[in-house]
Structure 1
């Protein structure tokens, strides 16, 4: 993270975040883009902008606001609106903006001595000058795994999808515990949630998942043994689905959908 003087004539991407929502424009790439001199920012709004990345050769600035005020560049929307609507690179920058803004919001005071924390300009960190305690944004590692049995894949529906009247079926996932390898986490989470065992675990790819601060590490695995018996605290239902007869799937742009698509391709080879 870099705090420096902004060139008011340089085109940039502006990630304006307040109260867990981001300012989006109604068309194009949705993220406001342009130079400071040409954009209708109210006085002082961009004074504390922080550079968080570069995208398509232009700097990306985070503008973190305590309240949702009209900045003249669009309307506030949830971050999930961007899923599948912008390319992965731009979504990842938006996710980084959310995680850094959450870090600012939740680390205003020192967790060790209680004194005020201060932004460190040359790295993404906060420091207490009273006890010298330094904090960095929290990143929560978790696994997400697609499981295949011949021409079928294991899909589950979580309780939150039932509550939202949104019956999406997805792959299994869970957080990594202290002292645990990623492969061990795959085996444990799958067994805890479905009571089946897997083999031939293969790493595929990862995705920052800013809901609120996860790093998803995607795997594929093959069914080994066991009969599905769901953990009712975690899942509403789970079953094997033939690749030619799949239920409603997660949105494009999610790692879950990428894993499902990859399994479907493998089954049809």
Structure 2
């Protein structure tokens, strides 16, 4: 995959290449897909906020047009980033995830948060800088923990009101200032479902561009307590036998990897591969 997608800074003054059009986790597409000839798309009457060079994809320079709204073009439609993930094109999802994070950052940082001046791209660096007070912003990453809590052949799974009907998943939450990720695991589990955990161990990480999380995956053992729901966050939580699991998250998610990995270890199955 590394040979097909290489993120890098590109000079937007250079002509040619391919381009993506993005607005709030959605990409413009037509019958040929989501990549357009760059010069053609730039000639259309699109509400462009910013243009950024992303890198090289399958040998072609790739750029991004960040739009102020979902503009309509004849023969085109908008597709969500989640749709791409569910369709299973791992390479394209990796590219679009990067593009969506750059686009969201470009949209959210058009003006300085300190003095309100228009921000400018920093040449040779993925950064925006205020020309008045020199405040500088880089693409945002929000570190988050995600954890599978287990008790023998049982796993603790929960569902949020935002989930697809019937789907249960692992617990997750954002790391707060001043705490380690392991401290975050214990705090979030306690807050969301009221139980205590021990033997917290790191399993792997995954970029999660919804909109800019870095998911740090853990496995933890149950240490005590009864399930008490944090009702504003959790709709239901319960212990499930690994022999009778509910509908689970998408196979490309680190949540699914944590579950599948534990089930494989208990049943002697094949260890799954953590998606990029």
Relative to the length of structure 2, the TM-score reads: 0.83
Correspondence for 2:138: 136
**Matched residue, 2:250:** 251
Tell me the CA shift for residue 87 of structure 1.
Answer: 3.8
Pick aligned residue for 1:121 from 106, 120, 123:
123
Kindly indicate whether structure 1 or structure 2 has the higher relative contact order, using CA contacts under 8 Å at least 6 residues apart.
Answer: 1
Q: Which moved more, 1:46-55 or 1:140-149?
A: 46-55
CA distance in 1, matches of 2:90, 2:199: 28
CA distance 1:228–1:134, shift in 2 (3 Å) = same
Go from structure 1 to structure 2 and tell me whether the alpha carbon gap of 1:123 and 1:42 turns closer, same or farther (over 3 Å shift).
closer
TM-score, with normalisation over the residues of structure 1? 0.85
In structure 2, how many angstroms separate the alpha carbons of the residues matched to 1:235 and 1:36?
A: 44
Retained in 2: the 8 A contact 1:41–1:72? Answer: no
User: Paired residues, what number?
Assistant: 258
Question: 2: distance between equivalents of 1:17 and 1:73?
Answer: 17
Q: Which runs of 5+ in 2 are unaligned?
A: 1-8, 269-276
- 1:217-241 per-residue CA deviation (whole Å, 9 max, x = no partner) reads 1111222222222211211111111
Work out whether 1:175 is the aligned partner of 2:174: yes
Which aligned pairs between 1:1-269 and structure 2 lie closer than 5 A?
1-6=9-14, 8=16, 12=18, 14-25=19-30, 30-32=33-35, 36=38, 40-41=40-41, 43=43, 49-70=51-72, 74-161=76-163, 166-269=165-268
Q: For 2:205 and 2:259, how far apart are their aligned partners in 1?
A: 14
Coordinate RMSD, CA, aligned: 2.5
- In the alignment, the residues of structure 1 paired with residue 190 and residue 172 of structure 2 have an alpha-carbon distance, to the nearest angstrom, of 11
SS at structure 2 position matched to 1:112 = coil
Cα deviation, residue 177, structure 1: 0.6
Aligned equivalents of 1:168, 1:112: Cα separation in 2: 42
8 Å CA contact 1:45, 1:63 repeated in 2: no
Q: CA deviation at 1:128?
A: 1.0
Q: 5+ unaligned residues in a row in structure 1: which ranges?
A: none
